[in-house]
Structure 1
Amino acid sequence: MNVYPNLTTAVKSRGSLGLTLNFCRCITSGTKISHARKPNQHRSYKVSSPAEFILHEPKELLASGITTFLPPRSGFRGLVESLSTTLKTTNPPSISRLRALLRAYNSDSLEWSKFAQADATKQYTRNLVYEVPNLFNLLLLVWTPCKASPIHDHTDSHCLMKILKGNLRERRYGIPHASYNCPLVQTSDLNYGLNKVAYMSDKLGVHEISNQSQSEYAVSLHLYFPPNAALRGCKVYNVKTGEYNHTMPTTYDSIVEPNSIF
C-alpha cells in the first residue's frame, strides 16, 4: 500500500474525492524519490536550438472539431507515455496533438499524488515527473494558496499547462519593449479550472500564474519543449518598468526515478 504523507486523500467514491496537502516528505512504497537536484545536474547536454521547433500562432492551437489525435493509454502513466512518444516521433512537434492528449486525460489524484510535494514556505514547488534530455521535461507544480509566480518568459520554448486540481489564474502581458522604463501591457486575464489546458510561448508574450484560493492548494502539469529553461534559466520581469532579471534554474523539489513511471 502506498503512503503519501504529502497528500492525504479522503476517497468517497472513484469519482468523488477530497484532497488535503501536508508539508511532509513524500514516502511511497516501491517509489524512489530524490530531492534537491538541479535540472540536468551531473549531465552534459547540448542546448536545444529553438530553430528546431516551430512556434505556432494561437489559431493553430484551435483545431476545430478535434478532441484527440492518438488514443490515449489509460491513466496518468499512459498520458506520460503518449506525450513522450509523440515528441520523440514528430518533428517538428505537433502542439495540437500534445494539447489534445492533455485534454483527453481526466485528472485522478490517486495516479499523480506521489509527485505532488507541497511546501508552504514557497510560492509553488517544481516536481520532476519525466524528462528526455534536450527534448522535453514534464513537471508537476503544487501552488500554495494566495501565491503567484513572477512574470516570466519561456526561453524560446513551448509550454502546455493542464490543471489537475483547483483553479489557476493567468495574467498575460504583451512582448516586453526593448527599452526599459516602459510598463508591461496586460493583454488577457483568464481563469483555468479542473482539466483545462493552456498554451504559452514567447511569441505570445510573458505571463504570471497564481492560485487565488485562500485555503486550497492547486496542482498543474507543465510540459516544456525543448526544456531550455532547465538549462539556461528565464527572464523575470518588473510589471511597472519592464526591466528584467535573468534567473538560473533552481533545484527540483522532488524527482521520481523514471523506472517508477515506465
Structure 2
Amino acid sequence: MDVTALIDAVSQTKDKADELSCQEIIDRLSDALARFTTSAENQHFAEEYRPSGNYTRLLLNSPQDAFQVVLVFWGPGKGSPIHDHDDTIGAVSALTGETKEIKYVTTGQVGECVELAEAGEFTIAPGRITPILPEDDKQLHLMVNEKTHWAATVHVYLTAIHRYQMYLAAPGGSFRTAETSLWFDECGVGTRMPTSVRS
C-alpha cells in the first residue's frame, strides 16, 4: 500500500465513522496501517530520509484534512512524555525499527495533579498496531526508542489533533497536565513518498 492509498483509506473511514463501531474503525485503520508499514518501498523512504533533529514529526496528508497521518522519526534513546490524544480514535505502527509503548490509566486526583499507573507495555514494530481509544484512559501513553539506531512510526488520528495534554512529573509521584500544541516539522510530505506501488 502506498501513501495515497493509506490517506484514502483513512479518509473513507472518516467519512463512514458515524456508521461504524469503535472496533470497526480500529480494524479498518489497523488493516491499512499494517499494509502500509510492511511495504518495502515505504520502509526504504524512511531509511533514506534525513531527519532535522533527534525527533522529527512529518504530516503526510494535507493540513486541511479533518484527519491526520503522521510520520515520526525517533533518534536512539529518544522518547515522548506521557500524553493523551485529545479524545480522537487512532492507531500507531512502526515503519522502521521498534519503539516501546507504555500505556497509563488515571488512578486518582491530588489537587490539580493526577495519579497515574502503568497499564501495559507493547513493542511497536512494522505491521504491529497499537490502538488509540478515547474510553477508559486508553489514550494515555509514552513512546521511546530504546535501540541504538533510528526508528520511524506512523500515527493515524481519525480527528485531527491541534492541542493535547502532556503529563509531567510533579512532587509526590503525581503528574500535572500541560496543554500543548501539536506541531509538524513539515506538512504534506506524502507527496514525496512512493506512490507507484499499491497492494
TM range (shorter): 0.7 to 0.9
Aligned partner of 1:153 in structure 2 is: 84
Amino acid at match of 1:87: K
Q: Which residue of 2 is the match for residue 103 of structure 1?
A: 34
- Cα distance in 1 for partners of 2:93, 2:129 equals 4
Give the helix-richer structure, 1 or 2.
2
Q: What residue number does 1:207 align with?
A: 141
- Note the C-alpha offset of 1:176: 5.6
Deviation at 1:148, TM superposition (A): 0.6
Structure 2 residue 124 is the aligned partner of structure 1 residue 192: yes
Deviations 1:76-135 (A, max 9, x none): 332222222232244255222222222233533533627955133x4x211010047463
Matched, 1:126 2:126: no
CA contact 1:152–1:235 (8 Å) conserved in 2? yes
Q: Cα gap change, 1:259/1:195 in structure 2, threshold over 3 Å: closer, same or farther?
A: closer
Partner Cα separation in structure 2 for residue 85 and residue 205 of structure 1: 23
Question: Against the structure 1 CA distance between its residues 176 and 81, is the aligned structure 2 distance closer, same or farther, given a 3 Å change threshold?
Answer: same
Separation (CA, whole Å) in 2 of partners of 1:87 and 1:155: 16
Structure 1 residues 156 and 134: CA distance shift in structure 2, 3 A? farther
**Structure showing greater relative contact order (alpha-carbon pairs closer than 8 Å, 6 or more residues apart):** 2
Give, as a single letter, the amino acid of the residue that structure 2 aligns with 1:236. Answer: M
Q: State the shift of 1:163 in Å.
A: 0.9
Partner of 1:184: helix, strand, or coil? strand
Of 148-157 and 237-246, deviating more is 237-246
After the TM superposition, which residues 1-262 of structure 1 pair with which residues of structure 2 at under 5 Å, given as runs? Answer: 74-92=1-19, 94-108=25-39, 110-111=41-42, 113=45, 116-120=49-53, 122=54, 124-131=55-62, 133=64, 135-175=66-106, 177-180=108-111, 182-203=114-135, 204-214=138-148, 216-227=149-160, 229-230=161-162, 233-239=163-169, 240-250=173-183, 252-256=184-188
- Residues 92, 221 of structure 1: alpha-carbon distance in 2 compared, 3 angstrom cutoff: farther
Structure 1 residues 178 and 219: CA distance shift in structure 2, 3 A:
same
Q: Is the 8 A contact 1:158 1:225 kept in 2?
A: yes
Q: Deviations over 1:40-92 (max 9, x none)?
A: xxxxxxxxxxxxxxxxxxxxxxxxxxxxxxxxxx4333222222223224425
Query: How much is the aligned-residue C-alpha RMSD, in angstroms?
Result: 2.7
Per-residue deviation at 1:260?
A: 5.7
CA contact (8 A) 1:175 1:202 kept: no
Bigger radius of gyration, 1 or 2?
1
Letter in structure 2 aligned against 1:172: K
Q: CA deviation at 1:145?
A: 0.7
Deviations 1:137-158 (A, max 9, x none): 1110011110110100111111
The share of aligned pairs that are identical, in percent, is: 20
Distance 1:259 1:192 in 2: 25
Q: Give the aligned length.
A: 182
Q: Which runs of 5+ in 2 are unaligned?
A: none
How far apart, in 2, do the equivalents of 1:104 and 1:110 lie?
11
Q: Name the aligned partner's letter for residue 244 of structure 1.
A: T
User: CA–CA distance in 2 between the matches of 1:182 and 1:148?
Assistant: 21
Contact persistence 2:106–2:114 (CA under 8 A): no
Paired amino acid for 2:158: F
Deviation at 1:175, TM superposition (A): 2.6
